[in-house]
């Protein structure tokens, strides 16, 4: 397990405020309802905002994250008692083969290296039942977002409950604490199929949009 990159409790508390529910959360909640999921895994659950929203009556929800600081925050939030929280990565999941849905939101899957991806997907496949669904998002490398990651184009200043904050994105900064792996839809699809998934579907957004040259996000859905 890598060192917790989110060990600053003030950052974690602000993280949830800065990442409110949006179309991505609505997509995963709708998917869980659509397939009548009785057991859901949220890999890379972070502060548990989506995880807790998925924990509706009669549904078992498991949140997994390598950040102890994130999980400590998640466990203190309203509704946290309805979730089983696991500190670690996908290999900490029991290969029970009875989950209906596995999701991974935000940049979670982009933090996983190409070398580690087969192990992660294999662990999720082992946790899902036959016919279970996996769904997650990544950024489309064709959009080349990193070319706009510089202080001039991404600087934001604002007042928060923690004080005045200035933040920006920097490509290959020596102060970066996490790494994002931009991978093609073809490479990720191949990993899914090698892990035992089929019917891989890739969309260019949260509303069933096709992938186009303007797509910034790739939304994957596949069947175990």
- Rounded to whole angstroms, the Cα distance separating 92 from 55 reads 20
Of 136, 176, 181, 169, nearest in space to 45 by CA: 136
pLDDT at 91: 95
pLDDT at 109: 96
Give pLDDT tens digits for 43-66. 999 999 999 999 999 999 999 999
- Rounded to whole angstroms, the Cα distance separating 37 from 61 reads 10
Q: What angle do CA 55, 59, 60 make, to 5 degrees?
A: 85
Question: Average of pLDDT values for 158-179?
Answer: 55
CB burial string 110-140: b at 16+ within 10 A, e below: bbbeeeebeebbbbbbbbbeeebbbbbbbbb
Q: Report the predicted TM-score, pTM, of the whole model to 2 decimal places.
A: 0.84
Give pLDDT tens digits for 69-115. 999 999 999 999 999 999 999 999 999 999 999 999 999 999 999 99
């Amino acid at each position: 397990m890598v060192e917790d990159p989110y060990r600053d409790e003030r950052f974690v508390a602000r993280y949830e405020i800065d990442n409110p529910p949006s179309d991505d959360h609505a997509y995963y909640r709708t998917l869980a309802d659509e397939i009548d999921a009785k057991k859901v895994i949220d890999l890379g659950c972070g502060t548990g905002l989506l995880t807790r929203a998925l924990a509706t009556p009669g549904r078992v929800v498991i949140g997994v994250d390598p950040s102890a600081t994130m999980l400590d925050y998640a466990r203190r939030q309203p509704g946290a008692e309805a979730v089983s929280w696991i500190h670690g990565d996908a290999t900490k999941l029991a290969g029970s083969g009875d989950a209906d849905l596995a999701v991974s939101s935000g940049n979670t899957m982009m933090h996983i290296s190409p070398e580690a991806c087969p192990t992660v997907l294999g662990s999720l496949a082992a946790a899902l039942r036959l016919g279970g669904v996996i769904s997650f998002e990544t950024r489309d490398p064709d959009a080349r977002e990193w070319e706009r990651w510089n202080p001039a184009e991404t600087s934001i200043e604002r007042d928060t409950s923690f004080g005045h904050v200035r933040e920006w994105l920097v490509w290959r900064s020596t102060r970066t604490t996490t790494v994002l792996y931009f991978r093609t839809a073809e490479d990720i699809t191949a990993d899914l199929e090698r892990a035992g998934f089929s019917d891989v579907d890739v969309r260019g957004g949260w509303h069933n949009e096709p992938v186009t040259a303007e797509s910034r996000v790739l939304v994957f859905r596949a069947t175990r």
